[in-house]
Structures are given as structure tokens and as C-alpha cells.
């Protein structure tokens, strides 16, 4: 994890609920929506993007840090909650980058109101059923095995051992709370919304970058291709020798693509 001076955490109150939000960097605001295992910690890609952007990273309700909100029952509810967060904070239109489950949340937000975003980046996003292959059943695995499956080569992946602060009792408890929250939001149908590809077709003016690892074993590349077909004008970047975490597995290429797109 980077030096804590690079970021700080604060509490935002929204409709009687408390949301923990990590902030860091300077420049144009960038909303970062984390994945189903929770916020992975401040990594090199955060530092790189924070040179030109003010990163705003809400910690999803019920994922171990922000308290659960009773009325949020599915990903679309969570998307609506974040739409209200953006309006309350006077942040829209804002750039957004979403990872896996967080990418699904961003996609639902855009399908509902594309004008709340300036540009959108989806990284290995869940939410659309892959035409070929299946989204990994993460609940068949213990959390460390799920983490290992998320990269192509754990032993040779920079920062892999830094994810989530390491495999200790505290980290393991947060992982399991995040996985339980994911199950509440996305168990049936599993990790996708059958309506989403159709709803996304309303998007006609939102620049969208899709980033996928060619060897993604969590959300297969065919899901990225389906997103590209559904979102008019979107661009799909496929990184070779890369699994579900291009931000650390192919850091230089990932940062270059995202920085170029957001600028």
C-alpha cells in the first residue's frame, strides 16, 4: 500500500446512511468503483492516475467498512444510490472507472442516465452474461483461491502480495463480508443482469473504454465483446498475458490506455 499521505478516508452522510470514501490526488474528479472483493488497497495505478485526477473511491455499503443499507437489494439499487451520491456531492458529470462488480454498477448507472458521466472505463466488468464461457463461480472457492484465480500468474504478478493488505485474519474477514454482500446483490441471476445489454443500447453519447485481459478467468473476454456491441462507439482494448486484473498485471499498458482516454 502506498504511503497514507497520498490518500485519506472520510465519512459521507447520505439519507441517514454513512458511506466511507477514500480520496486522493488532484485534478479532474474520477469516480472509482471497486470490485466484489472490496477495495484492494492503494496501488501503483492509483498513484499514476492521481497525478492528474482527484480519485473518489466509495467503499460499497455492506462490504465490511461502510455499513450495510437495508434497501439496497441488487446492483441496480446500488447504482441508484451512487447516482444520488454524485448529485449530493455536485460531482456530475464525472469520469468513472469500474472494476468487475464496480464496472457493472457503472454500466447500470450509465444505462439509467448517461449524462451523469463524462467518460466511462469498464475493466473486466461483470453484469453481462458472456456469450462464450461462464463468469467464475467465486462462491465455490475460498477467498484466497478466488484471488489467485483473478490473475494469470500470481507468482509473477507485481503487487499481487499487496492486494487487500495481505492474507491475514483482518483481511480475510473483510473479504468474506465483501463476498457475502456480493451474494446478496448478485446471486440470482448470477453476476449479471439479463436486461443490461438491451438497456445499454440507449447510450449514444458517452465515450466508453473497455479494458479486458485476454486470459480473464473471472469474466471471460466474450463479455467485453458483448459490452462493445451494446454500447455505441465503445472501444475494447484487450491485453495479452493478462487475467482479470490488467491494472496490476499489465500496469504500464493499462495506465497508458486509461490516461490517454481520460485526457
Which pLDDT tens digit goes with each residue over 33-56? 999 999 999 999 999 999 999 999
DSSP secondary structure letter of residue 57: E
Asked if the model's pLDDT at residue 124 lies above 50, the reply is: yes
List pLDDT tens digits, range 213-254: 999 999 999 999 999 999 999 999 999 999 999 999 999 999
Mean pLDDT of 140-165: 92
Q: How confident is the model at residue 15 (pLDDT cuts 50, 70, 90)?
A: confident
Asked if the model's pLDDT at residue 1 lies above 80, the reply is: no
Question: Is-contact 210 234, C-beta < 8 A?
Answer: yes
Domain parsing of the chain, residue ranges: 4-262
User: What's the pLDDT at 64?
Assistant: 85
List pLDDT tens digits, range 52-66: 999 999 999 999 899
Asked if the model's pLDDT at residue 173 lies above 60, the reply is: yes
Entry pTM: 0.96
Q: Which residues pair with 38 in a beta bridge?
A: 35
User: What's the pLDDT at 22?
Assistant: 97
Asked if the model's pLDDT at residue 20 lies above 60, the reply is: yes
Q: How confident is the model at residue 5 (pLDDT cuts 50, 70, 90)?
A: low
Query: pLDDT above 90 covers what percent of the chain?
Result: 90
Strands (E), 89-173: 94-99, 117-123
User: What's the pLDDT at 115?
Assistant: 98
Retrieve residue 34's grid coordinates: 471497486
Asked if the model's pLDDT at residue 169 lies above 80, the reply is: no
Retrieve residue 101's grid coordinates: 462488480
User: What's the pLDDT at 175?
Assistant: 86
Asked if the model's pLDDT at residue 2 lies above 50, the reply is: no
Give the residue from 92, 97, 99 showing the smallest Cα distance to 118. 92
CA separation for the pair 178, 36 (Å, rounded) = 6
Mean pLDDT of 157-161: 94
Asked if the model's pLDDT at residue 3 lies above 60, the reply is: no
CATH of domain 4-262: 3.40.50.1820
User: What's the pLDDT at 167?
Assistant: 66
Mean pLDDT of 145-167: 91
**Which range (2-16, 93-107, 118-132) has the least confidence?**
2-16
Question: Is-contact 73 184, C-beta < 8 A?
Answer: yes
Question: Is-contact 68 35, C-beta < 8 A?
Answer: no
Question: Is-contact 121 144, C-beta < 8 A?
Answer: no
Give the phi and the psi of residue 14 in degrees, each rounded to 5.
-140, 110
CA separation for the pair 114, 31 (Å, rounded) = 14
Mean pLDDT of the residues in the chain? 95
Mean pLDDT of 112-116: 98
Amino acid at each position: 500500500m502506498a504511503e497514507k499521505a497520498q490518500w485519506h478516508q472520510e465519512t459521507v452522510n447520505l439519507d441517514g446512511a454513512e458511506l466511507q470514501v477514500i480520496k486522493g490526488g488532484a485534478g479532474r474528479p474520477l469516480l472509482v468503483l471497486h470490485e466484489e472483493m472490496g477495495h484492494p488497497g492503494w496501488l501503483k495505478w492509483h498513484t499514476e492516475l492521481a497525478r492528474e485526477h482527484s480519485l473518489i473511491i466509495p467503499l460499497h455499503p455492506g462490504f465490511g467498512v461502510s455499513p450495510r443499507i437495508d434497501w439496497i437489494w441488487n446492483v441496480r439499487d446500488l447504482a441508484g444510490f451512487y447516482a444520488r451520491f454524485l448529485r449530493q456531492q455536485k460531482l456530475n458529470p464525472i469520469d468513472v472507472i469500474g472494476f468487475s462488480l464496480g464496472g457493472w454498477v457503472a454500466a447500470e448507472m450509465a444505462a439509467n442516465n448517461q449524462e451523469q458521466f463524462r467518460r466511462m472505463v469498464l475493466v473486466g466488468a461483470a453484469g453481462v452474461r458472456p456469450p462464450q464461457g461462464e463468469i467464475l463461480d467465486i462462491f465455490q472457492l475460498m477467498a484466497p483461491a478466488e484471488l489467485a484465480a483473478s490473475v494469470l500468474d500470481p507468482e509473477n504478478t507485481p503487487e499481487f502480495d499487496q492486494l487487500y493488505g495481505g492474507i491475514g485474519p483482518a483481511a480475510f474477514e473483510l473479504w468474506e463480508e465483501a463476498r457475502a454482500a456480493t451474494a446478496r446483490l448478485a446471486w440470482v441471476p448470477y453476476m449479471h443482469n439479463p436486461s443490461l445489454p438491451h438497456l445499454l443500447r440507449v447510450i449514444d453519447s458517452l465515450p466508453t473504454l473497455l479494458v479486458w485481459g485476454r486470459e480473464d478467468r473471472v469474466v471471460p473476454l466474450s463479455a467485453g465483446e458483448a459490452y462493445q456491441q451494446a454500447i455505441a462507439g465503445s472501444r475494447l482494448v484487450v491485453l495479452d498475458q493478462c487475467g482479470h486484473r490488467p491494472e496490476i498485471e499489465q500496469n504500464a499498458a493499462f495506465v497508458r490506455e486509461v490516461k490517454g482516454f481520460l485526457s
